[in-house]
Every structure is written in C-alpha cells, then in structure tokens.
Amino acid sequence: MGSLTREQVEHFEEEGYVVVEGALNPEEFLDPVIEEYTLVLDRLANELYSTGRISSRYEGLSFSDRMIEVVKESGKCHEQYFDLHLPIKDCSKETPFWTGPAVFNVLTAPSLLDAVESLVGPEIYSNPIQHVRIKPPEKHVTKNEYGQPILGKTSWHQDNGVATIDADETKMLTVWMSLQDAPIEKGPLKVVPRSHHNGLLAHCPNYHGNGIITAGQIQIPEKLFEVDKTTPLPMKRGDVIFMHKRTVHGSLSNLSDEVRWSLDLRYNPVGQATGRSIFPGFVARSDKNPDSVLRDAEVWNRMWLETREKMSTINQGHERDFKRTRWFEGQLECA
C-alpha cells in the first residue's frame, strides 16, 4: 500500500509533486553517502595534483570547501567523476562514474521504497536515469561562451522530455533529495504546479530564451506554461520530493558559499520502458517475484562497469540509438 497518506497522494496527483518531510533518516542513509564521496573527492584531488592541474590537494578542508577549491583552480566542475550515470557521448573505458554501496543503500532504502510504492505500486524498478549533482556556488564556476556558468541553474524541462520516446507510457516517478539543507540561496528545485496536466511540451535545442542559453541542451520556452505559478522548494536534508514525469521544473542558482549536493533518482513499475534502455536498472521491490530483487551493491556496480565496457567499444551505435528524439531546432514552438 505504501507509506504516503491519502492527502499526500492526492496532492501529487493534483499538483504534480509532493514534498515528504523526513522520508529518509539522514544519519542512516545520507551521512554514509557523504563519507563515500569524500573518498571519491580525495581520489580526484590526488589525480589532479599528480598531473599538475592543481597546486594542492586541499587536504583538511570540508567536502564543500575542498570541492570549491578544486573547481576554482582546475576551471572544471568534474561532474562526471561523481555521477551515477554514464554519458551518452564519448564514453570510454576510463570514463569515471560512481556507484558505491552507500548510494545503493539510498536507492533501496525501505522507507523510500514505501513512499514510491504509494505512487507506482508494489512492483518497483530502479530506473537508470539517476544522477548526483554537486553544484558549486556559481560565482566560482567557469563561464561558457555566453557568459553563463558551465554548471549552473537547470533550465525548464519535463523528465518525460529528456527520456527516449519508448518511455512515454511509463509511469515514471522522479525522486529528488538534498544531502544537506537546501535553502533558497543554495539553488533548490523550482516547480510549476499542475503543469503535468498539460501533457508533454516542446523542448527546444540550443534555445536562447528564458534567460539561459542552453548550448547543446534543451529547454521549454516559458511562453508554453504558466511561469508565474513557479514554486521554489527549499529542503531540509532527509526531505524528499516526489514528482510526476510531466511536471515542468528547473532549479535556482546556487548563490551561497557552499556546494549544493543532491540525488536525482527515478523509479517505475517493473516491466515498463525506462527511457534509457542502454543502461542497467534493477528490480528494487517485488511482491510477485521477491527473488528478482537486487540486494547486492557490488552486482549493481558490476552492471555499470560492464555497460561502460560495451559503450566504449560500440559507442557510436549507442549514441545514434539514443538520438532518435522528437526534438529538433526549428520547431514552431521554439521560434
């Protein structure tokens, strides 16, 4: 049946999202992730220092301060180094990513899956569209050719719109959480309530509107939805946002002095298309077939390692498959 109340489920269905306070125990699930990523950052700093790209390992600093110093001196955000997801393009045998046991424990946390069950049912698949986002303060981030941070606020989109077409009928659920408190100045999510009722909107490649120029990416023009209804969602750590796949959302800029650190996950019913068929998901919960549930974090990590190996040898074919998308420059809605 799941753990959400009837009122929470109704809010999700009517508004396109619901914030559940205290959905995860931070000490049990989030602190181990922070410890795990501290070691990942240690490895990155050592690598950059040994190759002369930074002048110090910046040891003894907090994760946030150390990450900021590495970003400032190297001129890069190194987001792929920490991500749970491989890139579609230019994936090699050396492409970094992170799928550690502490992250797996979050993906399979019983309290989280209880809430997910309220919205997608008891047969739960961990969808491979998943990311960790470590966003430094924008004032420290290198600018692109348009004068905007290379890793800044996220443009308007629907998660349905950035998955492949085969997942249009999938009951995909977005699950977003911050590993630390995310007040307004840190750049939390912003959503447009009830926008999911309007179906899938046009996503425009290389769009020059909305105040963000998304070179090589896509975004929804603000003229296509009621932007004046935008609602920011500041969060406490342990709180979780559950969001419909067609809810229009983005994020605010990180104007603080610390990194904004979040997990962006997806779930759907077992047997439905994931929108990333080239990447590995797994059964996280099943009443019908409990033996199918993945309980071993090392197996999950191996699945991603094997996928990286395959993508590094036949990457161009994978990229062509993924690029069978409905979005193109010159769409009428993008003018």
- Residue 90: the pLDDT is 84
Q: 82: closest CA among 40, 139, 138? A: 40
Q: 187: closest CA among 263, 262, 264, 252? A: 252
Torsion of CA 335, 215, 273, 310, to 10 degrees: 150
Torsion of CA 90, 94, 96, 97, to 10 degrees: 90
Mean predicted lDDT score pLDDT of the chain: 93
Q: Alpha-carbon distance 73 to 237, whole Å?
A: 29
Is the pLDDT reported for residue 318 higher than 70?
no
The amino acid present at 289, given as its one-letter code, is N
- Residue 59: the pLDDT is 96
The amino acid present at 67, given as its one-letter code, is M
3-state helix, strand, coil in the chain (%, to 5): 35, 20, 45
* Sheet bearing 249-251, strands edge to edge: 231-232, 189-191, 249-251
- Residue 216: the pLDDT is 66
CATH architecture type of domain 6-334: Sandwich (2.60)
Confidence of residue 2 (pLDDT cuts 50, 70, 90): confident
- pTM, rounded to two decimals: 0.94
Is the pLDDT reported for residue 286 higher than 90?
yes
In the block, residue with structure tokens 């205290």: 22
Kindly tell me the sign of the dihedral angle through the C-alpha atoms of 302, 286, 124, 134: negative
Is the pLDDT reported for residue 306 higher than 70?
yes
Q: What is the mean pLDDT of residues 258-278?
A: 96
- Residue 213: the pLDDT is 66
Is the pLDDT reported for residue 275 higher than 90?
yes
Retrieve residue 258's tokens. Answer: 């610390």
Domain ranges for the chain: 6-334
User: pLDDT of 289-303, one tens digit each?
Assistant: 999 999 999 999 999
